[in-house]
Amino acid sequence: MVNLKKELEDNQVILLLMPGKEYNEDIVKNLKYFSSSSSVFYVTLNKTYSALSELCKKHKVKSDNVVFVDTISKTIKKTPDQSKQVYYVSSPGALTEISLVVSKFLKHEFDYMIFDSLTNLAIYTKRAPVGKFLSSLIHKIKGTKTKAVFYAISSGENDELIKQAEMFVDKVIVLGKNKGGESDD
């Protein structure tokens, strides 16, 4: 198992490439790992808050320390702007909105930020704005003490986006077939 906390001590922003098949297991494991003793804000472009909290309950992950930014719920049903532990954004393609919300949250000095995932971002928006968005977001993160992990699926379809992202982050970790397999760039 890659020691993400240790990696994040040396590198503020990490891109975590994970195989699609083990994606659900990986996100739960990582959330469990980070939320156990630190404050986390989790930007989800993939699952709704309710789906994630269900997943947390199922795997007995303590999510009290986690604040979610849910970009999916508003696209499928009428949802308030916010509730106790979650802030809802219009859609995964609403880059301006996501950027503003993340900027505001970064001021609250969370220990970790998880961005789930770049692959989904690519589905909803064109490549050029995504590159600019990522660059601006990562620069904002680097102006704070918050450590960030960006998820992406290593499927080969989003190679160009991943290459772009590799330029902005401090380290790329590839989760291989044999769990814990790490390939650093």
Partner 1 sequence: MINALTFDGSILLEIAILLGLVTVVLTFINSRKLKGEIFEKPFIYFALGLLFGTFSLIAVTFFQGSWGANTVSIVHDLSFIVGMGLLLLASMQIAKFLKGVESFGKNIEK
Residues that bind partner 1 (CB under 8 A): 67, 81-82, 87, 89-91, 93-94, 96-97, 100-101, 104-105, 107-108
Choose among 58, 48, 73, 62: nearest CA to 25.
58
| Pick 6 or 126: Cβ nearer partner 1 | 126
CB of 83 to partner 1, least distance (A): 9
Specify the residue, 122 or 173, whose C-beta has the smaller distance to partner 1.
122
In whole angstroms, the minimum distance from the beta carbon of 85 to partner 1 comes to 9
Residue closer to partner 1, measured from CB, 57 or 104: 104
Residue 161 phi, psi dihedral angles, 5° rounding: -65, -40
Residue with tokens 């993400």: 4
Report strand pairing: 82-83 vs 40-44: unpaired
Least separation in angstroms between residue 39's CB and partner 1 is: 9
- Judge residue 68's burial from the number of C-beta atoms within 10 Å of its C-beta, 0-12 exposed, 13-18 middle, 19 or more buried: buried
In the complex with partner 1, the residue whose CB is nearer, 141 or 172, is 141
Taking the C-alpha atoms of residue 123 and residue 106, their distance in angstroms, rounded to an integer, is 25
